[in-house]
Chains A and B, each alone.
Chain A
Amino acid sequence: MGLYTDVIIAGFGGQGVLLVGNVLAYAAMKKGLQVTYMPVYGVEMRGGTANCTVVISEQEIGSPLVMYPQSLIIMNQPSLEKFQPRLREGGIQIVNTSIVPHSMLKSQTNGCVPLPANNMANELGNPKMANMVVLGAWVKATGVLDLEEIKEVLPLALGKSDKRIIEANHRAMQAGADGVGDLAHSGK
């Protein structure tokens, strides 16, 4: 059936989870793959919860909604509580442990990547880049897309091409990817 992967990206409104989904969708499209991006829309607002689902496939995509995802990007505790039980066995989850307690993670090994994304983004100069840290980590951990492909489409998804902003975000992605280490390759 060829390449197929899906991911749910979830966090507080304002953490940039929808942007991460958009960047992934643009990169997949640029690579000539089929892709769907499905946001949870409407009554969400800054401080509420937000999530989106991205499906990437070589084949025509059926459902854009995924009940049991192959991977997760979790930015806050309510999202972990909601989605961790639905992660497929052997799936990959990237968790922002700056605000999600380690003790809540179901699997400390095998595909689970705990990253203090807020702290890492802070150290790089802007706490808003935590989403780029976890995006970089997801790309490295799943191996579906190359980090260079992601970096390339960022201006398109951001609707901005300000060199300083783009380069800072690239550094955040790289830090996330480097933070994965060898851990997640078993989950591929």
Chain B
Amino acid sequence: MNAQSDTVSLIKGNEAIAKGALAAGCQCYFAYPITPQSDIPEYLSGELPRQGGEFIQAESEIGAINMLLGVAACGKRAMTSSSSPGISLKQEGISYLAGSELPGVIVNITRGSPGLGSIDPSQGDYYQATRGGGHGDYRMLVLAPSTCQEAYDLTIRAFDLAFAYRNPVMILGDAILGQMKEPVLERRETVDTSQEASEWALSGAKDRPRRLIKSLYLADGALAEHNERLQAKYQEMHKEQDWEEFATQDSQVLVVAFGSVGRIAKSAIRMLRGQGYRIGLFRPVTLYPFPSERLRELAKNNSLITIENNAGQMVDDVRLAVRNVSDSAFHGVMPGKLPSAEDFLTPILHVWEQNSQIAQAAER
């Protein structure tokens, strides 16, 4: 890929992801249409072949994820995308990618659920993304953008992480991120990825010993050993923890929220700061690994409230992060209802008042 000058364009989050994939040197993309992510295949169906890559509309989501597995085994940068129900169909393939230690990027622009749900925004797939979703003791790196710029940047990072760890990486966004337009700065840099998989990829065994990529381990003790190695890798991933802090320098109450809800919470915090309330925001950017250490540190000086567009999923990770030190209140907006900054004010102020009462009691 040639170096090009930086350009700013007004694009949807979905298109930012598609452009990020191109900038990262994605060579193959496997599609199956579903709202609200169909702008990704729409864009890549034109642009990817123009840049010498392969675009395939698969016969199903299951077909698409298994095509990703096959191309990943050949050491190529590849991606698939879908929305909640389609991502459920991909879970078997994701487990096989993880078990075979293959790199690939999977985009989930979530929609209302369970079942076919709706096409409304939702954060109901947090558990599925961070707990595995498919069978077995595996983990994916999960990146949660909240702006179109971040969608672009994190997609590039997702490819790098996938190959650094030989592991599937998920971009978890929602219908708000996918459909919203914002100015995005495209940073085109020359990426040479030709050698990144040369040690393990299936590239033809002429003049070298043959290689085997598999997730089946039947020999005595072999699977346990494989699992030990995988767990060590997941531990290693913890150094990738990433998050955003907003107005935490003097905060007494901390809102924890990810993705679109994170930025909506920022509006609520600005309103409350305008009235003198010292509220801050902690927005995990990596959902796995969850940025536990920093959150635990902040919890020493803050009361916490987790806000999500679901019935309460990330709040489990928040409570795990601060266990024995603190706890977190929770405010959930059900999938099917649009989250609004105004709706967050009362739950946040409720935690503020509880916090003040505790502080007063301590002074007495």
Interface residues of A (CB under 8 A from B): 1, 22, 25-26, 29, 34-39, 41-43, 60-68
9 smallest CB-CB distances across A and B, nearest first, come from: A62-B267, A62-B266, A63-B267, A37-B181, A63-B264, A67-B340, A42-B119, A29-B183, A63-B341
Asked whether B10 is an interface residue with its Cβ less than 8 Å from the other chain, the reply is yes
Name the residue on A nearest B281 (C-beta).
Answer: A62
What's the least CB distance linking B360 to chain A, in Å? 31
Q: Are B176 and A64 in touch, CB under 8 angstroms?
A: yes
Q: Are A35 and B176 in touch, CB under 8 angstroms?
A: no
Complex interface: chain B residues within 8 A of A64 (CB): 176, 180, 182, 260, 263
What's the least CB distance linking A100 to chain B, in Å? 25
Q: Are B264 and A35 in touch, CB under 8 angstroms?
A: no
A62 and B267 alpha carbons, distance in the complex (Å): 5
Interface residues of B (CB under 8 A from A): 8, 10, 35-36, 119, 175-176, 179-183, 260, 263-270, 338-343
Complex interface: chain A residues within 8 A of B338 (CB): 65
Complex interface: chain A residues within 8 A of B341 (CB): 62-63, 67
Complex interface: chain B residues within 8 A of A34 (CB): 183
Main secondary structure of the interface of B (DSSP, over half): helix
What's the least CB distance linking B346 to chain A, in Å? 13
Complex interface: chain A residues within 8 A of B343 (CB): 67
What's the least CB distance linking B9 to chain A, in Å? 9
Contact count A vs B, C-beta below 8 Å: 69
Known: A29-B8, A62-B263, A62-B267. A41 touches B342 (CB 8 A): no
Query: Can you add 11 more A-B contacts, CB < 8 Å, to A36-B180, A63-B263, A67-B341?
Result: A29-B183, A36-B181, A36-B182, A37-B180, A38-B181, A42-B36, A60-B266, A62-B266, A63-B267, A63-B268, A67-B343
A65 and B341 alpha carbons, distance in the complex (Å): 8
Q: Are B10 and A29 in touch, CB under 8 angstroms?
A: yes
A1 and B340 alpha carbons, distance in the complex (Å): 20
The 23 listed contacts between A and B (C-beta, < 8 Å) are A25-B10, A29-B8, A35-B10, A35-B182, A37-B181, A39-B179, A41-B175, A41-B179, A42-B119, A61-B263, A62-B263, A62-B264, A62-B267, A63-B263, A63-B264, A64-B176, A64-B180, A64-B260, A64-B263, A65-B264, A65-B338, A65-B340, A67-B340
What's the least CB distance linking B71 to chain A, in Å? 31
Name the residue on B nearest A21 (C-beta).
Answer: B181
Q: Are B340 and A41 in touch, CB under 8 angstroms?
A: no
Q: Are B339 and A26 in touch, CB under 8 angstroms?
A: no
What's the least CB distance linking A65 to chain B, in Å? 6
A34 and B35 alpha carbons, distance in the complex (Å): 27
A22 and B12 alpha carbons, distance in the complex (Å): 11
Name the residue on A nearest B39 (C-beta).
Answer: A41
Complex interface: chain A residues within 8 A of B182 (CB): 35-37, 61, 64
Q: Are A65 and B176 in touch, CB under 8 angstroms?
A: yes
A38 and B176 alpha carbons, distance in the complex (Å): 8
What's the least CB distance linking B73 to chain A, in Å? 36
